[in-house]
Amino acid sequence: MSARPAAAPLRSGSLRRRTIVAVLAVVALLLVVLAVVVDLALGARLRGQIEERLRDRAAAAASLVGTVDDADLAERLSDQGLAVRIDSAGGESAVAGPSPEQLRDGPPGPAGPGTGPADRVEPSASATASGVEVVASAVSGDDQLVTLRSTLSDGSTVTLTASAVGIGDTLAQVRWIVAVSSVGVLVLAAGAVTFAVRRSLQPLDQVSQVARAIGAGERGRRLRPTRADTEIGRVATALDDMLDDVVGAEQAAREAERRLRAFLSDAAHELRTPVAGIRAAAETLVRADLDGPDREMLAAHVAREAARASRLVDDLLTMARIDRGLELARARADLRDLVRAEATRVPLVHPSLRVRVDVPDAEVPVDVDVDRIAQVLSNLVENAARATGGRGAVVLVVDGRGDAGMARVRVIDDGPGVPAADRNRIFDRLVRLDEDRDASGGVGLGLPIARGIARAHGGDVRCVAVDVGARFDVTLPGAAR
């Protein structure tokens, strides 16, 4: 199985700097687009004004056809700073005003592409009434000249040329103004964005401060955002949840360490008693010259204490296996047979204990490890025997009508019962309600082992409240009939 690739490192560059640079880049791009649009629109507008001026002059020339000769008309039109050429239908030409080459160096006439009312050549009333008009016209030119050729009604052609050099000068001035203004806007935007971003990212500074405080030992510090539906709110809520989990895990680890130390201490104490008895009896047997009943009594004591120590070690090993994950040899079995087998064993160990079995007529199939479930029943019966002093009554009831396909066994005794406050505590390791630690008492591992085995099967063991005595319910996963 291939190892998972390591997570990519978090990009930890300055969020404030990246945000400011990104916003300023967007603003600069918008300013460039605006400058280009203004430049194109203004250039087109200025050139349109020149073309409109030439068409107006062409219309004025059309209105004067027949009233003045071509040379006089050319002179009148050239007063507008235009290069004028009139080609009559007879092949004669009249030229007035500056040449196109002179216009490329700059307009000698009035400044600017427009013209006021005083510059207009007004058509005469007779010409307007005669219905003379421009038959056709076409505009051409380059970046420095604009030329309009118009064919008049009498067949003559008027060519008007105007300088467009002023457009470039105007656009150059506008470009400088836009450039200087854009720089000023960028400077102002940088200051405003820096202030706004700093204010917007202040919650992140608070997050880092709280994190450092928690790392320094203030485990109770939390962010508690006022709104959990925002970006910062979601981050703060996730951090609070993570801190709760971490603190909870830390407390659980400390509690587990405390329980482990107590468990080891109690286990060492429980083992020390039989080991000390075995050691004392063995030393007596070695050093003293004993015969007859005394020697047999010491040998029986050694065997009894050794059995007690062995039982404790076995229980400790069983608990360790349960913690690690108990391996089960599951097989189909009838729960009634397991209960009957336990009832048959009890009189051999506790002759004075009265045992009664209550099982249904129908089979109660379960999918369990038979030996482990027998250990669960044995531990519960042993617990009942100790509670009743070995002389009480124990009832084993099999109920195959549990919830969610679970079978159930009830172990009921007529002993002193279990206080309500201790019904969960008795399943902790090395916990005994009877503090007497004589040889006849247990060490407090029987009930934890029983619950651990039942839960490994997918069931449970619970202490249920009853009016008299104690009742333990064992639930086990049922098998299909």
DSSP-assigned letter for residue 439: T
pLDDT on residue 224: 77
DSSP-assigned letter for residue 478: B
Would you say residue 116 has pLDDT above 60? no
- Residue at 389 is within a domain: yes
Amino acid at 153: S
Integer-rounded Cα Rg, in Å, for the chain is 54
What is the tens place of the pLDDT at every residue in 9-19?
Answer: 656 567 778 88
H/E stretch holding 55 reads helix 15-63
Looking at beta carbons, which pairs linking 413-420 to residues 24 or more positions away fall under 8 Å?
413/384, 413/387, 413/388, 413/469, 413/470, 414/388, 414/468, 414/469, 415/384, 415/387, 415/388, 415/469, 415/470, 416/387, 416/469, 416/470, 417/466, 417/468, 417/469, 417/470, 418/463, 418/470, 420/465
- Whether 432 contacts 442, CB under 8 Å: yes
Q: How many residues does the chain have?
A: 481
Domain end, chosen from 165, 182, 199, is at 182
Q: For the chain, how many structural domains are there in total? A: 2
- Provide the CB-side half-sphere exposure for 207 (13 A, CA): 16
Measured at the CA of 368, the angle between CA 363 and CA 373, to 5 degrees, comes to 95
- The better pLDDT of the pair 225, 456 is held by 456
Q: Count other Cβ atoms within 10 Å, centred on residue 476.
A: 25
What is the tens place of the pLDDT at every residue in 357-367?
Answer: 999 888 889 99
pLDDT on residue 158: 85
What's the rounded Cα separation, in Å, for the pair 351 and 340? Answer: 16
Please, which pLDDT band fits residue 138 given cuts at 50, 70 and 90?
Answer: low
- Whether 469 contacts 418, CB under 8 Å: no
What's the rounded Cα separation, in Å, for the pair 138 and 130? Answer: 24
Please, which pLDDT band fits residue 340 given cuts at 50, 70 and 90?
Answer: very high
pLDDT on residue 118: 35
Please, which pLDDT band fits residue 239 given cuts at 50, 70 and 90?
Answer: confident
Domain end, chosen from 163, 182, 201, is at 182
- The better pLDDT of the pair 126, 282 is held by 282
Please state the rounded mean pLDDT for residues 22-26: 89
What is the tens place of the pLDDT at every residue in 413-452?
Answer: 998 888 888 888 888 877 776 654 444 456 678 888 899 9
pLDDT on residue 117: 38
Helices (H), 83-164: 100-104, 125-129
DSSP β-bridge partners for residue 139:
148
Q: CA distances (Å), 423 to each of 116, 420, 464, in order? A: 107, 5, 8
Which token pair is 230? 């925002």
414: domain CATH number is 3.30.565.10
Which token pair is 275? 């080991």
- Residue at 436 is within a domain: yes
pLDDT on residue 6: 54
- Residue at 340 is within a domain: yes
Please state the rounded mean pLDDT for residues 125-137: 41
- The better pLDDT of the pair 290, 204 is held by 204
* Angle of the 70-78 helix axis to the 15-63 helix axis, nearest 10: 150
- Residue at 208 is within a domain: no
Q: What burial class does residue 99 get, using C-beta atoms within 10 Å of its C-beta: 0-12 exposed, 13-18 middle, 19+ buried? A: exposed
Which token pair is 173? 């001035």
- The better pLDDT of the pair 235, 397 is held by 397
Average pLDDT, the chain: 79
Please state the rounded mean pLDDT for residues 82-87: 84
Would you say residue 264 has pLDDT above 50? yes
Would you say residue 462 has pLDDT above 90? yes
What's the rounded Cα separation, in Å, for the pair 167 and 179? Answer: 18
Would you say residue 123 has pLDDT above 60? no
Would you say residue 66 has pLDDT above 60? yes
Would you say residue 113 has pLDDT above 70? no
Looking at the whole model, is its pTM more than 0.75? no
What is the tens place of the pLDDT at every residue in 266-315?
Answer: 677 667 767 777 777 777 777 766 666 777 777 777 787 787 777 777 77
pLDDT on residue 114: 41
Would you say residue 473 has pLDDT above 60? yes
Please state the rounded mean pLDDT for residues 467-472: 91
Please, which pLDDT band fits residue 8 given cuts at 50, 70 and 90?
Answer: low
- Residue at 210 is within a domain: no
Looking at beta carbons, which pairs linking 99-107 to residues 24 or more positions away fall under 8 Å?
100/145, 100/147, 100/161, 103/144, 103/145, 103/161, 103/162, 103/163, 103/165, 104/144, 104/145, 104/163, 104/165, 105/165, 106/163, 106/165, 106/166, 107/81, 107/162, 107/163, 107/165, 107/166
Domain range spanning residue 89?
15-182
Would you say residue 104 has pLDDT above 80? no
- Residue at 224 is within a domain: no
pLDDT on residue 343: 92
Would you say residue 377 has pLDDT above 80? yes
Q: What burial class does residue 364 get, using C-beta atoms within 10 Å of its C-beta: 0-12 exposed, 13-18 middle, 19+ buried? A: buried
- Provide the CB-side half-sphere exposure for 396 (13 A, CA): 25
Amino acid at 398: V
- The better pLDDT of the pair 185, 437 is held by 185
What's the rounded Cα separation, in Å, for the pair 220 and 240? Answer: 10
pLDDT on residue 37: 92
Domain end, chosen from 156, 182, 208, is at 182
- Residue at 257 is within a domain: no
DSSP-assigned letter for residue 5: P
Q: 3-state SS string over 148-163? A: EEEEECCCCEEEEEEE
- Whether 164 contacts 145, CB under 8 Å: yes
- Residue at 174 is within a domain: yes
pLDDT on residue 115: 40
Q: Mean pLDDT check: name the lowest of 304-313, 326-335, 368-377.
A: 304-313
- Whether 214 contacts 243, CB under 8 Å: yes
What's the rounded Cα separation, in Å, for the pair 61 and 77? Answer: 8
